[in-house]
Structure 1
């Protein structure tokens, strides 16, 4: 069960690229988020196919092709269910089932991706502390499971 995120939601951009502007993860915590995500089983880091160069794509080693386009941030290309934005942003773009994404929005953890095509694309805000780090990594794991579908 995901608990509500404390405080107000961060400010995010209204024009591309879709990014988080305030309430960023501290640099050390952001680095730990990156390390934790790439320590997950059967993932590998790569260059995002759809996000600025400072972003890190999360690719699956056990699946390279999407089972359906709504399970990837880069439909029709290599399966990219998640990418982590750089230290100047610290948010995470990922795919989730629509109902789970709406739940995370209601709990204050996420918002719809600014350029969503399928309603499964979301921005999850960067973690501000240890508890939030664990929650965000857990949400990334949910996204990877959804992508494997």
Structure 2
């Protein structure tokens, strides 16, 4: 938690996330104003608890990126996969988890970590909509 992404790496990370197919940038329903929500095009609301960070009735938000002063992110993943990432030191359970699917990931510190975290975000997006019979 005391190691943050360098500003240039964080900027590359944010750009890479919002360049993913089907991703729409927006305001987070649950995170401070400096955060950026990652929405999925065509998915307006969560249809199943635990697949979105936002509560039922709010816009579908499987991921949000915290501001440059923090450089962490929250996302949803299957509980077993999230536990693997916790064990590997990439994540920790979200402090306000309700479903065991909410995790905090640390921001990337270099180009290698940047690619790993983008891949985990992609994994989160795919899992978050998999129950809908579609891909992010």
User: CA offset at residue 146 of structure 1?
Assistant: 1.1
Q: Which runs of 5+ in 1 are unaligned?
A: 1-9, 11-21
Q: Counterpart in 1 of 2:27? A: 47
Whole-Å separation in 2 of the counterparts to 1:67 and 1:96: 15
Q: Counterpart in 1 of 2:40? A: 60
Quick check: 1:89 aligned with 2:70? Answer: yes
Q: Counterpart in 1 of 2:55? A: 75
| SS of residue paired to 2:109 | coil
Map 1:27-38; keep pairs closer than 5 Å: 27-38=7-18
The alignment's TM-score, normalised by the length of structure 2, stands at 0.93
User: CA offset at residue 59 of structure 1?
Assistant: 0.5
Quick check: 1:103 aligned with 2:79? Answer: no
Whole-Å separation in 2 of the counterparts to 1:32 and 1:86: 13
The alignment's TM-score, normalised by the length of structure 1, stands at 0.85
Quick check: 1:127 aligned with 2:108? Answer: yes
Superposed CA RMSD in Å reads: 0.7
Whole-Å separation in 2 of the counterparts to 1:41 and 1:75: 24
Instruction: Provide Cα deviations, 1:48-97, integer angstroms capped at 9, x if missing partner.
Output: 00000000000010312223110000021111000000001000100000
Q: Counterpart in 2 of 1:3? A: none
Whole-Å separation in 2 of the counterparts to 1:87 and 1:95: 21
Whole-Å separation in 1 of the counterparts to 2:128 and 2:84: 18
Whole-Å separation in 2 of the counterparts to 1:122 and 1:85: 13
Quick check: 1:136 aligned with 2:124? Answer: no
Aligned pair count reads 129
Greater than 4 Å deviation, 4+ residue runs: none
